[in-house]
Amino acid sequence: MKIGCLPAVIVPWKLKEIMRSEKRFLIDACHVRCGGKLIEREGMPVDSYIELTSELGIRKEKQLPLKDLEERVYQTIQKEVDFLLNKACQA
Protein backbone atom coordinates (compact mmCIF):
# COMPACT_ATOMS: atom_id res chain seq x y z
CA MET A 1 0.00 0.00 0.00
CA LYS A 2 1.33 3.41 -0.94
CA ILE A 3 0.29 6.69 0.59
CA GLY A 4 0.37 9.77 -1.58
CA CYS A 5 -1.21 13.14 -2.02
CA LEU A 6 -4.27 13.23 -4.22
CA PRO A 7 -2.93 15.70 -6.82
CA ALA A 8 -0.13 13.22 -7.55
CA VAL A 9 -2.47 11.21 -9.79
CA ILE A 10 -2.12 13.81 -12.54
CA VAL A 11 1.70 13.55 -12.57
CA PRO A 12 2.44 10.82 -15.17
CA TRP A 13 5.30 9.03 -13.37
CA LYS A 14 3.47 9.24 -10.04
CA LEU A 15 0.29 7.87 -11.61
CA LYS A 16 2.24 4.84 -12.87
CA GLU A 17 3.67 4.29 -9.39
CA ILE A 18 0.23 4.52 -7.81
CA MET A 19 -1.24 2.13 -10.39
CA ARG A 20 1.46 -0.45 -9.55
CA SER A 21 0.51 -0.35 -5.88
CA GLU A 22 -1.15 -3.50 -4.56
CA LYS A 23 -3.83 -1.53 -2.70
CA ARG A 24 -5.33 1.92 -3.22
CA PHE A 25 -7.35 3.58 -0.47
CA LEU A 26 -9.01 6.94 -1.18
CA ILE A 27 -10.18 9.32 1.52
CA ASP A 28 -12.39 12.30 0.72
CA ALA A 29 -13.06 14.77 3.49
CA CYS A 30 -16.57 15.77 2.43
CA HIS A 31 -19.54 15.01 0.20
CA VAL A 32 -18.18 17.05 -2.74
CA ARG A 33 -15.95 14.01 -3.49
CA CYS A 34 -13.08 15.92 -5.15
CA GLY A 35 -10.80 12.92 -4.78
CA GLY A 36 -13.34 10.47 -6.11
CA LYS A 37 -13.96 12.62 -9.17
CA LEU A 38 -10.25 12.99 -9.89
CA ILE A 39 -9.63 9.25 -9.52
CA GLU A 40 -12.59 8.47 -11.79
CA ARG A 41 -11.26 10.90 -14.39
CA GLU A 42 -7.93 9.06 -14.37
CA GLY A 43 -9.69 5.68 -14.61
CA MET A 44 -7.99 4.38 -11.48
CA PRO A 45 -9.66 1.65 -9.43
CA VAL A 46 -9.59 1.89 -5.64
CA ASP A 47 -9.77 -0.95 -3.13
CA SER A 48 -11.41 1.13 -0.44
CA TYR A 49 -13.07 4.54 -0.24
CA ILE A 50 -14.19 6.65 2.69
CA GLU A 51 -15.96 10.00 2.62
CA LEU A 52 -15.37 11.20 6.17
CA THR A 53 -18.29 13.56 6.78
CA SER A 54 -20.82 10.84 5.91
CA GLU A 55 -18.85 8.05 7.59
CA LEU A 56 -18.63 10.02 10.84
CA GLY A 57 -22.08 11.62 10.61
CA ILE A 58 -20.74 15.18 10.77
CA ARG A 59 -21.00 18.41 8.79
CA LYS A 60 -18.07 20.19 7.20
CA GLU A 61 -17.30 23.36 9.17
CA LYS A 62 -14.88 26.22 8.68
CA GLN A 63 -13.09 25.84 11.98
CA LEU A 64 -10.32 23.73 13.38
CA PRO A 65 -11.54 20.30 14.49
CA LEU A 66 -11.81 19.34 18.12
CA LYS A 67 -9.34 16.77 19.43
CA ASP A 68 -12.18 14.25 19.71
CA LEU A 69 -12.88 14.54 15.98
CA GLU A 70 -9.21 14.10 15.11
CA GLU A 71 -9.20 10.87 17.10
CA ARG A 72 -12.40 9.62 15.42
CA VAL A 73 -10.93 10.34 11.96
CA TYR A 74 -7.71 8.56 12.90
CA GLN A 75 -9.56 5.50 14.23
CA THR A 76 -11.80 5.32 11.13
CA ILE A 77 -8.81 5.42 8.77
CA GLN A 78 -6.77 3.02 10.90
CA LYS A 79 -9.60 0.48 10.96
CA GLU A 80 -9.88 0.54 7.16
CA VAL A 81 -6.11 0.28 6.62
CA ASP A 82 -5.92 -2.66 9.03
CA PHE A 83 -8.77 -4.36 7.18
CA LEU A 84 -7.12 -3.86 3.79
CA LEU A 85 -3.72 -5.07 4.98
CA ASN A 86 -5.15 -8.13 6.75
CA LYS A 87 -7.23 -8.96 3.70
CA ALA A 88 -4.09 -8.76 1.53
CA CYS A 89 -2.15 -11.04 3.90
CA GLN A 90 -4.90 -13.66 3.82
CA ALA A 91 -5.03 -13.73 0.00
CB 9 within 8 A of CB 15: yes
Q: Is residue 1 part of a domain?
A: no
Round to whole Å and give the CA distance between 25 and 47: 6
pTM of the full predicted structure?
0.75
Query: Each residue's pLDDT tens digit in the chain (91 positions)?
Result: 666 677 777 788 888 888 888 888 888 888 999 888 888 888 888 888 999 999 999 888 887 777 888 899 999 999 998 988 887 677 6
Domain count, the chain: 1
Q: Is residue 33 part of a domain?
A: yes
Domain of residue 82 covers 6-90
Helix (H, G, I), strand (E, B) or coil at 65: coil
Q: Is residue 66 part of a domain?
A: yes
